[in-house]
Structure formats: structure tokens, C-alpha cells
Structure 1
Amino acid sequence: MKHLKFLVIVVCFLFGQNLIGQTFDGQVLDVQQNPIEGAYIFNQDTKSYSISDSSGYFRIGETGVGDSLRIGALGHEKLNILLTSGSVEGNLPFILNESALALKEVVITPNINALNVISKIDLMAQPVGSSQEILEKVPGLVIGQHAGGGKAEQLFLRGFDIDHGTDISISVDNMPVNMVSHAHGQGYSDLHFVIPETIENIDFDKGPYTAGKGNFATAGYVDFNTKNRLDGSSVQFEYGDFGWNRSLGLFDLLSKKRESAYLAAELLQFDGPFESSQNFSRINVFGKYTAQFMPKSQFSASVSYFRSTWDASGQIPQRAVDAGLISRFGAIDDTEGGQTSRFNINTSLKQQLNDSSFIETNAYWTHYDFNLFSNFTFFLEDPENGDQIQQKESRNLFGLNTVFHKTHSQDGLGLATKLGGGFRTDLVNGNELSSTLNREAILRRIQLGDVTETNLYGFFEAKMRLNKFTLVPGLRLDYFDFGYQDLLQEFTETQNRNGSVLSPKLSLLYDNNPNLQFFLKSGVGFHSNDSRVSALRQSQEVLPKAYGLDIGTIFKPTPNGLLNAALWYLKSEQELVYVGDAGIVEPSGRSERFGLDLGFRQQIFPWLYLHSDLTYTHARSIDEPEGSNYIPLAPDFTASGGVTLGNGSKLTAGLQYRYLDNRPANEDNSIIAPGYFVMDMNANYELGKGLLASLSIQNLFNTEWNETQFATVSQLANEATPVEEIHFTPGTPFFLKAGIRYTF
């Protein structure tokens, strides 16, 4: 009993140190009255400091009348304030004006995910101009498109060929993008419904270390947040090679101090460099309304609609190109293609309960349709009609997320907690795989069924600050109910299976000063298996886990420089392999990966900004013998980066590069997927009176490269036996686009 009393006294002493003395509460906003998260508040007299939360609120200790505060945030001018009795009693908000990018404003603290600062810096230096560029803002994430923008991109991160999203969780305004038990692959994530100019910031982390992230968050997660308001209305037109044309309108419908609303609309058409035109067309509409009903309550509602249609030349065999049967931009079956659409409604409410707690809730509903025609093997299965397949589904998806935040002391020190929970339900009608001919006749239905899948979850996460150390424990519990009804069988009932998974997390941060942080992260994550696998194959694991460990640092060696490095390890209980000719996912054995991530950002002059990210990964299957344990298409070395000129001036320009090394395309490394180095360029010039001209060049040096590639067994019409080799989609050649934007 004495020991218990002593422990209580010690804990109270440690957490009570910051409760001694005066405290000051405030809020940091931008000129549009939007909260600024991650702003630093520094008392120049007592040297105490604090960081604003997602609502812009902060509490700083050892602060009172007569003290001088310095307030700053990335992309905003610093504000120096002398506290008076009126400002202390009135609790007035502090308004920060916007400014050009300045790395010296970055402060490294345990209160925010320091890696998010990197993406915010990159987004300010080089705003995104296409849906594909959105994901490329995540350091170390490599993408590849093999349907000209029609399908979701193929993703690579930390030695994973993630396919279209199996091992990365992606969301927009807390609404999930990943589609469970999708007709084309588990975790399928089509982000093309997002208009890139509406993106405000990107939240991401690598590894399974965040308790608030569940399904698919093994290699990492990416959250995109859209703007609450626009700075003004604008229209934009782009034209380019290969029939590229894009029209964009951003319309500020309502701009009051406590209310805002805007509408964004995009129309994109593109033929592509292929001999058979892609006939790609996409329409996007997004509207958002935001209001503060009370000083500490914010409500948002958004509605969006997206639709794409396209033709495709598919993945072509290298031997057909080498033999001169087709060119690199030709096709074996040019009747591939498809259409997809997505309609979203998303509402959110953020309520400040008191000075130390707030709650965030969002509810969403999505209606989604998908219809894809592919031919991976040509005439292997059906020498007469060919091997074209159709993958199709119609889905309703709805869910709810709620997180309660509580700060138990001031200055960002002491204890802060999160308690969250929610659910997601997917109702999929007609999840179909069929053999087809010329996208017209159905020759044979291979699979046809309805999927029901529900995920219930709850989590807890805490940040305990003890001097320069911050301990971040977390625990997450997920429950899944999988259901599948096979409609090809007579008198069948829905097959059900359920399962649960407990995911503990524990991280330790050490902050020597506001310019240096060391971290040690550990955690367990998971991805769910396809309902067709989970419900029908009762012996298979339904929620395979991944075990991760990161050790690294992020620091500022100079006021205008930022470096980050991490050594990491990740072990997966089970891989999910997509089998193209069968159109399903199959579970395989265990795997392990370890590697090194390096990144740097340097603002040499106010108008010159450099950045680069390098990754090295060693990825192998655990249960296979040496030499046959390679993981197909797992990248071992990637690099990306660039330079930006003219920060904040009339003329801005940039060069960006990306590099993907050669990598094994099959398990014994006998087939190699060739790597590539590609460089892009962009420039913008303010003509005055709200006019901005833009120019961009993809593949500046006209490099011959393969954007996506697979080791596939196929058979051509004139071949007697099948052949396994690289099948690829060629990367875009030199591609010039020009545009003009008018802001009013």
C-alpha cells in the first residue's frame, strides 16, 4: 500500500508540474477564419511553448499579463503579441496572414506528426495539378497507371506492390477510399473523384503505428483533407498533346466570417499516346458548405459526383514488340476499357466541449459503380474467342467515425488522450467476373455474388509527456462480419464468417529541442481478406496481422533545412496475391521487409527549394526456400525529388524526378521488371489582373519506360504454347500541356 501511495505521489508530481502558475488559452486562425493546426506559440519571457490543435486552440502555461508571445505557422507570417489584461480576459483569436514558404517556421514537437510537415511543405512548394500527383506527395510512395487514368493507380510503398490499395489505408475527409472485397482487387482505391485543387493538406504516416487507423494500414496510411473555403473564384483551361483537355471551375458561393460554401467542377478528356485512342473522359463535381454555429462548433457537409469512361490497350507482351508484331503503343486486344462512378455525401461536426476537450464526428454514404473489361492472357484459356474478362459491381457504403480528444494539462505537456469508435458497412450487389467477347457478349459467368461486410471498431491513444520524452501507447479493437452469397448456385444462403483483431501500438519520442526529434515506433496492424476468401474458405485467416518497428529521427540542422531518416522492419502474417486471369485475390505465406527511408528539404534561398526522398527495401517471403523467396514487383530502391524556383514571385518553375530500380517480377528473380528514371517540368507565370499561365512537360527527356509491368503467362493467336514474360503498359512519352487560369 505504501508503494502504491508513493507511485501516486510521483505521478501527480510529474503531471502536476505544469499546472503550477498561470495559463493562457487562445485560438489561431488564418485571414479566412479557418483554424490553423500546428501553429507554435512561444513565450519569449518564460520560454514556455505550445502547439495549436486541429481546431486552432492552444493552452500555454507560465503565461500572463505583460508577457510577449511569438506565434507562427508554416506558410504564415509571424505575429508578436504583448499580452494585456484585455487580451488575457477576452481570449481573442490571433489572426495570421499568409506568406510564402519559409522552412525556418517549421517547429518539431511531439504534439503533431512531424512527417506531415514534410507533405505540407511539398504541397506549398509544388501544388498538385492532377489526381495522380496527389499520392506522389507522400514521400516514398510510387504510383503507376495502366489504364490512362481510368483505373486506380498501382501503388508501391516500403517494399510492397500494394496493387490498388491492399496495404495502405486512404481516406478523404475521414471518408474511406479503399473498397473491401472489390471486383478488381482487395482494397481497391480510386482517388480520381478528388479534384486536386480542393486539397488543403495531407496527413500520412508509414507503418502500423496509429491507433486511429485500422484496415489496410500496414505499410501506412494517407488522409486527404479538402478546403473549407476558397480564396476566390477561378476558371482554368488546359490543352496538350494526345488530345488532352481539361476544364476546371472553382466557384466561391458564400464567404462570410462564420460561413462558407464553394463548388468545384472538372471535365477531363484524353486520347493518350496509344495507337488505339483511350477515349478517356471524366467529370467531377464537388460542393462543400462549412459553418460555425457557435464560436467553438464547426459543421461541414460535402457532396461529390464522379464518372469516368475509357478504352484501353492493356498490358502488352514484350515478345510481341520485339518481333515487330506491334509497337510499344500498340495492342493485342484494344477492346479493353470500362466505366466507373462514385457519389458521396459526407457530413462532419467538430464541437469544442471546453478549454481542454473536443469531439469530432463524421458520417458518410457512398454509391459506387464499377465495370471493367481486361485481357491479361489473350488466347491462353479460349483460343477461339480470346480471354477477355469483365469485372463488375454496384456498391453502397456508409459509416460513422467519432473521436473524443482530451488534454489533461497545458503546454502540450502532461497527458492528452483520444478515444474513438465507429463502423463501416459495405453492401455489394452483383460482384461479378465473366468471360466476355468484345465487351458485348457474356460467354460464361465465372463468379457472381452479393457481398455484405461490416467493420465495428474502437480505439484509445494517449500522449504522455515526461520532460523531453513522450510516450504514445495505443490500442485498437476491430470486429468484422463477412458475408457472401453465391448467385451462381441454386438455393444457396449467404455464407457468413466473423472475426476480431486486437492491435496494440507503442511509440516513444525524444525531443531534445524544437529542432530535433528521435522516435521509436512499434505496432500491430492488419488487412482484411476478401469476403469471398473469408466466407467460403473457413480455414483461411480472415484478418492477417502485420508487425512493425521504426527507429529514426527528424531534425533541422539549419533554420532552412530539414532531414528525416528511419530504419524499419515489417513482418506480415499473410500476403494477398491478385490473380489476374481468375479475377480474385488469394492468400499466400508470410513475408518480411526491412529498409531505410531518407529525406531532405532545403530552402537555399527564399526563391530556391530542393527536396528528395530515397528508400531502400529488402523484401522476402519467409516460408519459401532461398532463391525462390523473392516477392514479385517489390521495389528495392526508389528515389524522387525536385527543385522549385521563384517561391512567391510572379514566375515559378519546378523540376521533378522519380526513379524506380530494376526489381524481380517473379519468385525466383528469373524475370526482371526494368526500372526507369523520368523527369517532369512545370512553370507558372502571373500575367496580372487575375490571369495565370501554366506550362508542364511530363517525361522531359522522352525516356522509354514501362509504367506498370507484370510477369504473366499468356498465349498469342499464332503461338502453339504459352510463354511467361514481362507484360507492360508503356509510360507516357514527351507530353506537353499548357493552360490559363483566371481568378475573380
Structure 2
Amino acid sequence: MERLAALLPDHRPALKRGGFAASAARASRMPRPSLVISIALVLTGIGPSLNAAGVPTLQEVVVKAKGNNHNLIGAAESANQGTVLKQQIDQRTVYRPGELLESVPGLIVTQHSGEGKANQYFARGFNLDHGTDLRISVEGMLVNQRSHGHGQGYSDLNFLIPELASSLQYRKGPYYADQGDFSSAGAVDIGYVNKLPAGIANFSVGNQGFMRGLAANSHGAGGGTILYAFELNTKDGPWLRKENYRKFNAVLRYSQSYGDTRFNITAMGYGANWNATDQIPQRAVQAGSISPLGSIDPSDGGESHRFSLSSALQHKSKLGITRINLYTIHSNLALFSNFTYFLDDPVNGDQFSQVDKRFQSALNLSHAWVNNLGGFAFENTVGAQFQNDVIDNGLLHTRQRQSLFTTRKDHVLENSMGLYYQNSVQWMDKFRSVAGVRSDFYWFDVHSDNSLNSGEQYDSITNPKLSLIFGPWAKTEYYFNYGSGFHSNDARGATATVDPKSGEAISRVNPLVRSTGYEAGLRTAILPGLQASLTFFRLDLASELLFVGDAGTTEASRPSKREGFEVSAFYMPNHWLTVDLDYALAKARFTGWDPAGNHIPGAIQGVGKASIAVDNLGPFFGSMQFRYFGKRALVEDNSQQSDNTMTLNGQIGFKLSKKFRVALQGFNLLGTKAHAIDYFYTSRLPGEPASGVPDRHFHPIESRSFRVSLTGNF
């Protein structure tokens, strides 16, 4: 806080230029008005403006002011939020783009089906499947897809180009008014750069059939900047049945700043197809009938594409900052999976296809301003968020990717509106508060091929938020947070009355499910170069979204409770060395008694990560990342558990000149033969009893591999 306040003399002339911001600064008469300084920096344009979600990113003010120092004291609303800078993103060694999210403390990213499909996410005692309670956005565009054919909140990050990422901001828990659906466990926002310092040409090649090419650059045009990037990627993986993964990515962006107004417009395109390597039964591997790198149904796989057009505009005036974010996305997924093999259909097998085609459009509006009352400066933010999804999805019974019959087919219209207000004020030198409220309104209209599952539903929910921040004392700040949030359920579940497969009667699910969180934590910068935080949390869910392994989708389940803690530390003792450590432990249980047990299948318990990076040390650079993925209960009574998994990735590089560098990346350097993910359910192999065999099913960690990358700047 003292270091942030010390910045005030350098910026006072700029503050006086904007009468609105200047009056806000004058109104704050506390000895160290760090919050108002941050607000003024935002409103005068010295610091960064609002983020794509439309709210002031005060933590970025601190980061920009202090370079690579992660000190958010005086700006953060909780101990669990933070910013991962571009420098850190560039230093990470990732097997697939979604693993960039592992830079978030306590978050694990894995996969149960090779490439092309969305990642699996684990955090805060959750198996988040493909994103059920983790809100992910890129350039302000929500990645989570509602009422998706393969599970609620499906979040596919394969369109992400890491070299274009400018920063990654994360916040955990339901304490933030601008975060709506899917954010109960946390929210992650990834921004893209407007301008590259130099053009990028990258070519990478490795074993397991890996090859990647990237070209990106930016130029001045029409008073602004045009940025473009194009990526091609192929990979076969270590599997006996080659993945034959083929991907293209393209980005075209124009940005401009004109006086107090700045805007950008961005087009993105992505497409991929692949052969899948889904989880396999442990009994088949132990019997030697298949290899750990083999598959039961080699025709599994999929294809996907995503095209988006987005724009963002920010205007600064004496009345504050107004932010508008508008986007539209067209996406398509055809996924072929077989998790139970020959249990339901002994003749043709149990392969099914989940199809999802949608047009997603959204408009986000916000306005931030400061007013004075009783000698205090109040920061206010009001926002509105609108989203429309036009969805066609279906479930088909297939054999070797050929349709046999349609199990269900649905046309879904899903509309939502979110309204929020947030107020921040520094009441005393050592005490400030952030209070907010959010209301969400949802409309569902489902037209099913079975009229008994068609219908309309409406639901709404209002959630309060409150954060109390004390300190700092000895460069340490303390936080107390309370808030409620929600996740939406699949629209089809909100209108269905019969199971489309069995024809049995089923109960409709609640469209919106409340979560309630409590948290206490601290953040400290007591040692030079060290930023550390400790958080204790509790989260209650009115209904758990649970991944069902033999169905390949998520279903609403019982109420649940999670309790745990997280600790993280970022240490930069000098200009060439950084060390990043985090560990989290959570206890996740269903609430209420049930004879089946109260453990939540797949819920993560312990997770830890450690990374070290070296740069600016002559021509050499490098990094290492160690990851611990703890045990999980696989069934409610905890009679079946997964093992823990430890992996090590790293890279070493050499700067050939100012414009060229070469790097060697290594994955699974320990040669771990553990599992990326485990499930326990019933399946049937040829010759087994008709009722099937309950067994553990797993997807193995990819074997050790290496990639060589040559990068040139122009």
C-alpha cells in the first residue's frame, strides 16, 4: 500500500486534467487513499481501463505501476484473485493450450479423450468436468456453452493461441457482481494483445507426430493497429490408434484509440478433427487384452469448429467510463464416444454421437463512476449482460460413426439477462468494503422430437455480494468475503418429463441452482520480491452438477458442501529468477444422509504445483513445472479411489540473437505411467455377462515426449 501511495506525486498533474477524477481524489481525505488513487488512475487513462467484462480491473493498475510485481494490496477484493502476466504465460511449457489455466493456483487441467475435445478442469474440491462451475472467457467472450450436447458449461479452449495472450486474470468464489453463470468455483478471463512488439514466426516439431507452425504480426493501419495470426497444428500422440489431430487457428484484429475513446474488433476462426482415445477398462489392461495406450472402439473421435466476431468499445468522460462488449459465435461439435462398449447393444456396440450446433450472441454494458458523499469517494459500477443461444443438439446411436437411430433431437432457445451493481469505498485508513448485488433472468424454450420433453421455463435469481478488507499491517492485508452465485442447468433437463432412451418418467430439474460461499484470507508482501496469499473457504451448492461416466454428460445431483484452504506464493528474488508455488486441499461432500454414501465422485482433494523460471541470464532461458494431482473418490461410499499423479514438464532455450531463439520442450519428463483421469462405472466387453462388470476406467498420462521450437521475430 505504501509503495502504491508513493506513486501519487508522479500522477497528480494527470489527475488534475480530468475534473471528475480530480474531484474524486480531492474528496478522499484519508492519509493513504490507495483505492481512490487506483480509481483515479483508471478514470484518467493512466492505468488500464475496464476489462472485457466491463468492470474496472484495479489489480492491473498495481501490476502496470510496478512492472512484474504482483502486489495487489490495496486493490484486490479477496485473497484468491490475481493476474498472470504475459511474461509468465510465455515461460510455461504446455502440452495443449488449455493447460495455460494451470497458472491459476489450485487449478488442474487434464483430458480424458486426447485432443480436440474440451479439457477437464479441477479446482476447489470440484471435478468441474468441462467447465460446469468455472467461468472462462477469452476477450470478453464466454467460452462455457449452456445446454451443450456433451455437458453443461462445455468449455473448449483449443482455439486459444498462447502467443497472443496478454494476461490471465482469475477470481474464485461467488463474490463478484460482474460474474454470473458458472462462476461458483471461480472465473478466468484471458485477454489478447492489441499490438505485438515484433512479428512472430514459429515452427515446432516433435515426436508423436507433433508439428506446429505460427505466423503473427501487427502493423499500423488507418490510425490504428491491425493484428493477424495463423496457426496450423498436427499431432498423433503416443496412442496405438493415431489421433490424426489436425487443427487450424486464425485471428484478425483491428484496434484504435482516439482521444477518450478506444475500440477493437476481432475475428477468430478455428477448426479441428481427430480420432479419440477415450478412457479404457482397467480389467482389460490387466488381462493383457489391450495396451494402456490402446482403445476398445477405435472409431471414436470428433470434429469441431468455432468462428467468432467480437468488438469492444470504451469511452471516458467526466461522467466516468462506459464500456460496451458485443460478440457473436458460431460453433459446431460432432463427438463420437463409446464408454460402455457392448453393455446396451451387444450386437452393434454402444457408440453414440453427441451433436451440438449453435449461434451464441451477447451484449455486455457497464458504466463506472465516482461520486462524493460525506467526505468519502464512492466507486460505483452498474452493468447489464444479455445472452442469446440458438441451439440444435442431438444424441444418436452409432456404429463406427454411422448413425443407426436417433435417441433424441432438440432445438433450444435460451435467453438470459443479468443486472448488477457494485459499490466500493475506503471507510478508514485500514478498512474498505466492496458490496454488490446481481439479478439474473433466464428463459428456456425447448422443442424436442418427443413432445413430452418440450416446453418453456422461466427462472430468476438474485445474489448479494460483500467483501470486507482490513489493513495493511506490515504489508499484509486481510479479507472476509461472503456471496451467493449460481449455475444454470441444461434447458432440456428443465423441460423433460421422460427419459429419451428408456421412456421412463423423470423429474424436471431446477433451471437455476444457488451457491453460497464464505471465505477468509490474507495477502502479504512482507518480504522483498515475495507475494503470498492464504485462503480458507466454504461453498454450499443447492444441487451438484455431476459427470456421469457411462453416459458421457453431466446430470443434476444432490446438494453439496466444500471446505478447504489454498496457499500460494510468487517469489522473484532478482531480475532473472521466478519461483511460483501453490497448494490446495478441499473436503467435498454431499449434504444429508444417503445409503449410497456422501462422497462426491471425482471431487479433487489435494493439488499442488511448483514452477521455476530463469530468463535474462545471458542467452539461456528455461523453466520447469511440477504438478501433483491428488486422489479422488470415484464412488459415493469412497470404496473406489483414484491414485495420485505427479508430472514434470520443462523447457530449456538459447537466444541465438536478438531476433532468433531455439527451445527444447519436454513433457512428462519423469516418465509417469499414471492416469490423467479415472472413473468407476459398469461396462461390458465381448464375452462378459449381459449385466456388465463394474470397473475402474482410466485415461493414461501421455508418455514422455519432446518438441523443438524455433522462433524468429521480424
Would the TM-score normalized by the shorter structure come out above 0.5?
yes
Corresponding position: 1:473 with 2:439? no
- Indicate the SS of the match to 1:664: coil
Q: Hey, what's the Cα distance between the residues in 1 that align with 2:80 and 2:514? A: 24
Structure 1 segment 559-598 matched on structure 2, within 5 A: 559-598=528-567
Unaligned runs of 5+ in 1: 1-20, 29-45, 60-71, 79-98
Counterpart of 1:185 (choices 151, 161, 164) is 151
Counterpart of 1:274 (choices 233, 239, 248) is 239
Q: Hey, what's the Cα distance between the residues in 1 that align with 2:33 and 2:439? A: 37
RMSD, matched Cα: 2.7
Corresponding residue for residue 633 of structure 1: 602
Q: Hey, what's the Cα distance between the residues in 2 that align with 1:498 and 1:405? A: 30
Corresponding position: 1:344 with 2:308? yes
Corresponding residue for residue 133 of structure 1: 99
Q: Hey, what's the Cα distance between the residues in 1 that align with 2:173 and 2:390? A: 29
Shift of 1:24: 3.2
Moved more, 532-541 or 236-245: 532-541
- Indicate the SS of the match to 1:235: strand
Do the aligned partners of residues 627 and 448 (structure 1) sit closer, same or farther apart at CA in structure 2, a change above 3 Å counting?
closer
State whether residues 38 and 61 of structure 2, in contact with CA within 8 Å, keep that contact through their aligned partners in structure 1: no
Corresponding residue for residue 325 of structure 2: 362
Counterpart of 2:38 (choices 21, 27, 51) is 51
Structure 1 segment 79-90 matched on structure 2, within 5 A: none
Structure 1 segment 50-449 matched on structure 2, within 5 A: 50-51=37-38, 53=41, 57=45, 101=68, 103=69, 106=71, 108-110=73-75, 116-120=81-85, 123=88, 126-127=91-92, 130-254=96-220, 259-293=224-258, 295-354=259-318, 357-408=320-371, 414-429=377-392, 431-440=393-402, 442-449=403-410
Give the residue type in structure 2 aligned to 1:361: I
State whether residues 125 and 609 of structure 1, in contact with CA within 8 Å, keep that contact through their aligned partners in structure 2: no
- Indicate the SS of the match to 2:101: helix
- Indicate the SS of the match to 2:85: helix
Do the aligned partners of residues 170 and 561 (structure 1) sit closer, same or farther apart at CA in structure 2, a change above 3 Å counting?
same
State whether residues 391 and 583 of structure 1, in contact with CA within 8 Å, keep that contact through their aligned partners in structure 2: no
After superposition, the C-alpha distances for 1:582-637 in whole angstroms (9 at most, x for unaligned) are 45543211100000100111123332221111001011001234881100011110
The normalised TM-score by structure 1 is 0.85
Structure 1 segment 654-693 matched on structure 2, within 5 A: 654-693=623-662
Do the aligned partners of residues 77 and 628 (structure 1) sit closer, same or farther apart at CA in structure 2, a change above 3 Å counting?
closer
Give the residue type in structure 1 aligned to 2:400: N
State whether residues 119 and 139 of structure 1, in contact with CA within 8 Å, keep that contact through their aligned partners in structure 2: no
After superposition, the C-alpha distances for 1:411-462 in whole angstroms (9 at most, x for unaligned) are x973101000021000012x1101100012x122111110110011100001
Shift of 1:106: 3.2
Shift of 1:253: 3.0
Q: Hey, what's the Cα distance between the residues in 1 that align with 2:160 and 2:112? A: 19
Q: Hey, what's the Cα distance between the residues in 1 that align with 2:669 and 2:441? A: 49
Give the residue type in structure 2 aligned to 1:434: L
Q: Hey, what's the Cα distance between the residues in 2 that align with 1:532 and 1:406? A: 41
Give the residue type in structure 2 aligned to 1:496: E
Do the aligned partners of residues 121 and 369 (structure 1) sit closer, same or farther apart at CA in structure 2, a change above 3 Å counting?
closer
Shift of 1:708: 1.7
Corresponding residue for residue 458 of structure 2: 498
Corresponding position: 1:728 with 2:695? no
Give the residue type in structure 2 aligned to 1:360: R
Give the residue type in structure 1 aligned to 2:514: K
Q: Hey, what's the Cα distance between the residues in 2 that align with 1:644 and 1:466? A: 40
Q: Hey, what's the Cα distance between the residues in 1 that align with 2:282 and 2:11? A: 69
Q: Hey, what's the Cα distance between the residues in 1 that align with 2:675 and 2:11? A: 59
Give the residue type in structure 1 aligned to 2:126: F
Shift of 1:120: 2.8
- Indicate the SS of the match to 2:88: helix
State whether residues 169 and 215 of structure 1, in contact with CA within 8 Å, keep that contact through their aligned partners in structure 2: yes
- Indicate the SS of the match to 2:292: coil
Counterpart of 1:456 (choices 411, 417, 421) is 417
Corresponding residue for residue 519 of structure 1: 479
**Number of residue equivalences:** 666
State whether residues 110 and 470 of structure 1, in contact with CA within 8 Å, keep that contact through their aligned partners in structure 2: no
Q: Hey, what's the Cα distance between the residues in 2 that align with 1:313 and 1:358? A: 49
Shift of 1:119: 2.3
- Indicate the SS of the match to 2:84: helix
Q: Hey, what's the Cα distance between the residues in 2 that align with 1:319 and 1:521? A: 47
Q: Hey, what's the Cα distance between the residues in 2 that align with 1:107 and 1:664? A: 36
* Matched-pair identity in %: 30
Q: Which has the higher contact order (CA 8 A, sep 6+)?
A: 2
Corresponding residue for residue 700 of structure 1: 669
Moved more, 139-148 or 731-740: 139-148
Corresponding residue for residue 645 of structure 1: 614
State whether residues 62 and 75 of structure 2, in contact with CA within 8 Å, keep that contact through their aligned partners in structure 1: no
Q: Hey, what's the Cα distance between the residues in 1 that align with 2:620 and 2:376? A: 43
Q: Hey, what's the Cα distance between the residues in 1 that align with 2:627 and 2:272? A: 27
Unaligned runs of 5+ in 2: 1-8, 17-30, 48-59, 498-506
- Computing the radius of gyration from Cα coordinates, the structure with the larger value is 1
Give the residue type in structure 2 aligned to 1:725: D
Q: Hey, what's the Cα distance between the residues in 1 that align with 2:90 and 2:249? A: 25
Shift of 1:27: 7.8
Q: Hey, what's the Cα distance between the residues in 2 that align with 1:702 and 1:23? A: 53
Q: Hey, what's the Cα distance between the residues in 1 that align with 2:277 and 2:75? A: 49
Corresponding residue for residue 448 of structure 2: 486
State whether residues 339 and 552 of structure 2, in contact with CA within 8 Å, keep that contact through their aligned partners in structure 1: no
Do the aligned partners of residues 509 and 125 (structure 1) sit closer, same or farther apart at CA in structure 2, a change above 3 Å counting?
farther
Do the aligned partners of residues 599 and 211 (structure 1) sit closer, same or farther apart at CA in structure 2, a change above 3 Å counting?
same
